[in-house]
Amino acid sequence: MKTPKILPPFIVLLCFLISLGLHLLLKGKIPWRHQNYFAGIIFLAGGFTLMMWARCLFKKCKTPIKPAEIPTAMVTEGPYRVTRNPMYLGFALMLLGTAFLVGTLPMFLAPLTFFLIINSAFIPYEEAKMERLFGQKYLDYKKRVRRWPTPTAGRSWRWSPGSRAKQHSPPTV
């Protein structure tokens, strides 16, 4: 698999600018509008926080952040216990937050497009590289942690009023 030539922040910017251009071009032509400032700020702030937390862990482990560089360590703590891609997830959440702030359909294309590009062009390259470099250690990590977090990522969650979420083993069939 070839090394990606463009860095993910530029993909974010490109997705944002194309969506913004479509938003301005089609302003008023698409009746669909779903603006939510609260959701926008939450997603934007949450995405930025997640991305920076993951970035700080890379710095702490003294491993390069750029996908084309050779990693010197495998980061598995913090948000990496829930998703193998917290930086990309953070970028997608920031784009989603921006989409909610603007509230038009073209803006919601940005997070979707970013997700599709990252998931098909960057992540397979990075995962293959991690498998070559870290071998079984990375394969075990891949078994434990999903690429993208989901509510049922290998476990079921049960909640009852007045209690905290409890982790339970999935039912056996």
SS3 166: strand
pTM of the model: 0.82
Q: What is the pLDDT of residues 63-93, one digit of tens each?
A: 999 988 999 999 999 999 999 999 999 999 9
Torsion from C-alpha of 8, 69, 129, 81, nearest 10 degrees: -60
Cα separation, 121 vs 123, whole angstroms: 6
